[in-house]
């Protein structure tokens, strides 16, 4: 001990360890990021806590700090006008987050770690320091509530407990702020989802309206389809269903098998999915139910009875079939038949033809 009461260097206590283990510090920094505090604007709640701490301990300076990876961020700084951050020098705030208990340094000049801190050696000349860690529910120490004085002093145990309570109040405010941020994010996500759904509905409405302009056109019942393939390179037909019955591929009698009408399933479905399952059928002249099975049988008979499956001949045959129904079609009927000559070795299809016919339902009596 020196004559003035100052302990000799060899009598000073060992300084606290430089920092936590790298894995523990990485998890602590993740918690700091979770609460999204550094570089945020001033908050009245934290300013009031810092001012209350200064009054309780009768100190000129009190702060609420968040310890980031490479700096100490002052969320509130009573008595430090214009100061927002400082480096992570050991001895004060950085040492205070190494333990769950409050850190009290009556005289920084007698503490081996604190006496080298910039706040002690710099213009502030801090001699007294006390801090309580701000600890999350899962044990991560985000920062401190601390009080500083330019003269050495001691505090009573009940004052230390009050400092711990102030740190707990800061943690409560951080949790409330985090909950509000999460609610805000959820609300924004819901708004984005609603906006996207509204845009999608508008696009769907516009698309449906464009089709309804098409169907109401004065020439809608007299339009025809023209197929113009390039015989030099062949052609491919892509069809998509929109609630229409299936397409049938007719094949005449061949050496390897009889004539047949093969059903070809199309992609797509009923208009905007209103009717996921629908049975499309009518009644023949004998009163029997005429559905896709009956149509397939009729087309197979046509393929077996005709050596050349011309598009026009198929349309004529189906039109004649419709004429045998007792009351005619109950809805509008559209027939489309496409035919192409088979490919011979070394040659492309010689020709292709297409024909359509449309009819409207018979008017009911009295209309």
Q: Please tell me which of 178-192, 214-228, 249-263, 283-297 the model is most confident about, judged by mean pLDDT.
A: 178-192
Tokens for 112, please give them: 């081996």
**Cβ partners under 8 Å of residue 147, min gap 6:** 53, 54, 57, 59, 61, 62, 128, 129, 130, 131, 163
Token pair 């936590």: residue: 20
Of 49-63, 183-197, 230-244, the one with minimum mean pLDDT is 230-244
CA–CA distance, 330 with 6 (Å, rounded to integer): 110
pLDDT-based confidence at residue 258 (cuts at 50, 70, 90): confident
23 touches 108 (CB < 8 A) = no
Helix axes 157-215, 22-35, angle to 10 degrees: 60
Closest Cα to residue 169, out of 40, 31, 32, 50?
A: 50
Rounded to 5 degrees, φ, ψ at 199 are -65, -40
Rounded to 5 degrees, φ, ψ at 259 are -65, 150
**Strand pairing of 141-149 and 128-135?**
antiparallel
**Cβ partners under 8 Å of residue 221, min gap 6:** 332, 358, 360
Query: How many of the other CB atoms lie within 10 Å of CB of 305?
Result: 11
| Residue 298, pLDDT score | 82
Residue 154: C-alpha distances to residues 106, 107, 128, 157 (Å): 5, 9, 8, 10
| Residue 350, pLDDT score | 44
| Residue 150, pLDDT score | 94
Residue 42 reports pLDDT greater than 60: yes
CA–CA distance, 72 with 38 (Å, rounded to integer): 9
pLDDT-based confidence at residue 46 (cuts at 50, 70, 90): very high
Domains belonging to the chain, first-starting first, are: 9-184 (3.30.450.40), 221-359 (no CATH)
Residue 24 reports pLDDT greater than 80: yes
| Residue 17, pLDDT score | 45
Distance of CA 305 to the CA centre of its chain: 60
Report the run of H or E that residue 140 belongs to, with start and end. none
pLDDT-based confidence at residue 11 (cuts at 50, 70, 90): very low
Question: What percentage of the chain carries pLDDT values higher than 70?
Answer: 68
pLDDT-based confidence at residue 56 (cuts at 50, 70, 90): very high
Residue 346 reports pLDDT greater than 60: no
**DSSP bridge pairs for 73:** 66, 85
| Residue 304, pLDDT score | 77
């Amino acid at each position: 001990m020196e004559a003035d009461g100052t302990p000799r260097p060899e009598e000073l206590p060992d300084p606290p360890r430089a920092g936590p283990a790298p894995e523990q510090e990485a998890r602590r920094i993740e918690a700091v990021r979770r609460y999204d505090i550094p570089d945020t604007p001033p908050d009245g709640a934290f300013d009031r806590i810092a001012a209350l701490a200064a009054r309780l301990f009768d100190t000129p300076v009190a702060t609420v700090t968040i310890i980031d990876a490479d700096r100490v961020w002052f969320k509130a700084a009573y008595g430090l006008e214009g100061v927002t951050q400082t480096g992570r020098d050991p001895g004060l705030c950085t040492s205070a987050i190494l333990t769950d208990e409050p850190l009290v340094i009556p005289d920084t000049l007698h503490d081996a770690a604190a006496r080298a801190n910039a706040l002690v050696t710099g213009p502030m000349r801090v001699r007294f320091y006390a801090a309580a860690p701000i600890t999350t529910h899962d044990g991560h120490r985000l920062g401190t509530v601390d009080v500083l004085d330019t003269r050495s002093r001691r505090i009573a145990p009940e004052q230390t407990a009050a400092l711990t309570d102030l740190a707990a109040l800061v943690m409560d405010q951080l949790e409330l702020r985090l909950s509000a941020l999460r609610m805000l994010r959820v609300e924004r996500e819901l708004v984005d989802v609603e906006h996207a759904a509204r845009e999608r509905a508008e696009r769907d409405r516009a698309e449906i309206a464009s089709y309804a302009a098409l169907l109401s056109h004065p020439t809608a019942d007299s339009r025809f389809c023209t197929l113009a393939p390039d015989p030099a390179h062949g052609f491919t037909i892509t069809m998509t269903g929109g609630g229409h019955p299936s397409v049938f591929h007719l094949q005449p009698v061949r050496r390897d098998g009889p004539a047949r009408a093969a059903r070809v399933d199309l992609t797509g479905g009923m208009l905007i999915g209103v009717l996921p399952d629908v049975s499309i059928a009518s009644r023949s002249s004998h009163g029997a139910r005429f559905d896709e099975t009956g149509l397939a049988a009729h087309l197979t008979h046509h393929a077996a009875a005709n050596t050349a499956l011309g598009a026009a001949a198929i349309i004529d045959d189906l039109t004649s079939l419709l004429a045998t129904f007792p009351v005619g079609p109950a809805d509008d009927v559209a027939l489309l038949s496409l035919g192409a000559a088979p490919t011979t070795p070394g040659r492309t299809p010689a020709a292709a033809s297409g024909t359509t016919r449309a009819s409207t339902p018979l008017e009911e009596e009295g209309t």
